[in-house]
Amino acid sequence: MQKLRHLYWWNEYWIGDHERDVMTRRLLRLSGSQGLTLGSGILFSYPEISTIAGVQGLVVYTLSSSLPLLVFGYLGPIIRKKCPEGFVLTEWTRERYGVVTALYLSLLTLITLFLYMVAELSALQQIINALTGLNGLPAVIVECAVTTIYTSLGGFRISFITDNIQGAMVVGLVILAVITVGVETKIDRSLVASSGLLSSSLLGWQLIYILPVAILTNDFFISGFWMRTFASKTDKDLRIGVSIATVAVTCILGLVGATGLLATWTGAWPGSPPQGGAVAFFLLLEELPAWVVGIVLVMVVSLSTAAFDSFQSAMVSTGSNDLSRNKLNLWYIRAAVVLIILPVVVVALKSPDILQVYLISDLVSASSVPVLIIGLSDSCYWWRGFEVVVGGLGGLLTVFVFGTFYFGNAHQGAYLLLLKNGLYSNDWSAFGAFVAAPIGGLLWAAGAFALRITFQWIQAKRKGVRFDAFDRPPPPSPALYTGRVGTPEDDPEEHSPIFSVSPQKGKFF
């Protein structure tokens, strides 16, 4: 946990190293063993899938978003054991695969955070426009300015506080929406049967594969999940935390997505003139009293702010710890993040399709995560960073190749990397992309492994030395403990050891 001192900025506290570590652990636990950042984008994507793939699509999307959280309860103890001083996935990656692979993963993490920030700001400006008819740009600028100021002054401490406020806002929003929608809306039963939303569809069946792969792999790039995973008091607490989070997220996302069904069955969607399914939630709100809309607007803006500051803080921590190894003044990192926000705003204002933004991030993770987690197995000690990087990039190349053959031209193949046709096109392009990304990544990684082994064998023969590519690495050196040390039965908060482990550093090639 010593490295956490560089991640969180405690400028108000003049305290010792041990006390600072204990305070950090407490803060992480106060935010929940497995907290979630539910941004305002959920008000677009989940109702939209209900209007397109009906009940089947909503159930698949909801479960695909919540059930992957359980994976952290299984993988978390494994990674914590292998990397006891870690707090994010890149720390384990650095120890297992070396510096180059860790930097590669950090770059992918930054790209993911960039896309999530784009999606959040795009959702906010669309919400302001949908609920008030006003231009959403001023609200976007104010949110960026406010979150930048208070995260710069308070760091992750403020972000965790807003996460807790966000949780209360989500619960309040769901309760208010359920009560008012139940009282005020009236379903036209003739529209239920004619809508076809109760029937299965080709897209609904495709989503059973696409969404679990996309969301599960993308969760690996969310730093907040890993920080809470490493900070959990015990493995049991971690599993309880992810179980509670899974149930809560399933209920929240299911209720939010159901507004798409209700908007269709009440006749509020598609509206006049017809509008896309992404605004179904807001078309349903128009049927409710004005005071309800006002309260929802305040809650949604608070929700968006809490999500956006988490992405900002995560980007600062990634830049500081992973890229500069905490050697660069934190204010330079914060200034760089502020500069990054400028293109985020520009892209957000030109990217109305929230789901497409998420899908681009999902495609990147689907190509990289399968080849990365092979290293978790002790029997795959011979797997190195070269295979991970080549496999991740090769997965994206495979998507391009698939798209070129599927559409018949390279231009459309490149567009498939950006999923320009979205997830809901009436073809097999999106499905094929999410098959090509992980399978292609694994095949490219296998080829890279064969190439590396062949090269090392030739080098050993040429130099007349022993070929040792399949030798097991030596065990880590013993941990060196300093400070107060407690027994396993003691409360870690009262006897939190400050230790330094010198593991066998991972190799890239």
| Of 18-22, 60-64, 243-247, the least confident | 18-22
Asked whether residue 115 carries a pLDDT value surpassing 60, the answer given is yes
The per-residue pLDDT for 407 is 93
* pLDDT reported for residue 286: 83
Q: Which of 56-60, 130-134, 344-348 has the highest mean pLDDT?
A: 56-60
Arithmetic mean of pLDDT, 26-33? 37
Q: What is the pLDDT of residues 216-248, one digit of tens each?
A: 999 888 877 787 787 788 888 889 989 998 998
Cα distances (Å, whole numbers) of residue 5 to 15, 93, 153, 498 = 11, 20, 16, 12
Complete domains list, the chain, with CATH:
4-28+42-500 (1.20.1730.10)
pLDDT(383) > 70: yes
Own/partner pairs, 24-30, CB within 8 angstroms, 24+ separation? 24/231, 25/1, 25/231, 25/233, 25/492, 25/493, 25/496, 26/493, 27/156, 27/157, 27/160, 28/160, 28/227, 28/228, 28/231, 29/231, 29/232, 29/233, 30/160, 30/164
Per-chain mean pLDDT for the chain: 81
Does residue 490 have a pLDDT over 50?
no
CA 371 remoteness from chain centre: 18
Compare 375 and 318 and report the one with higher pLDDT: 375
Helix H segments across 266-384?
A: 280-285, 290-317, 330-349, 354-372
With a cut of 60, say whether residue 130 has pLDDT above it. yes
* Residues contacting 149, CB < 8 A, separation 6+: none
| Predicted model pTM | 0.82
The proportion of the chain whose per-residue pLDDT surpasses 70, expressed as a percent, equals 85
Instruction: Please give the average per-residue pLDDT across 484-502, as a whole number.
Output: 38
- The DSSP string of 48-95 is HHHHHHHHHHHHHHHHHHHTTHHHHHHHHHHHHHH-TT-SSHHHHHHH
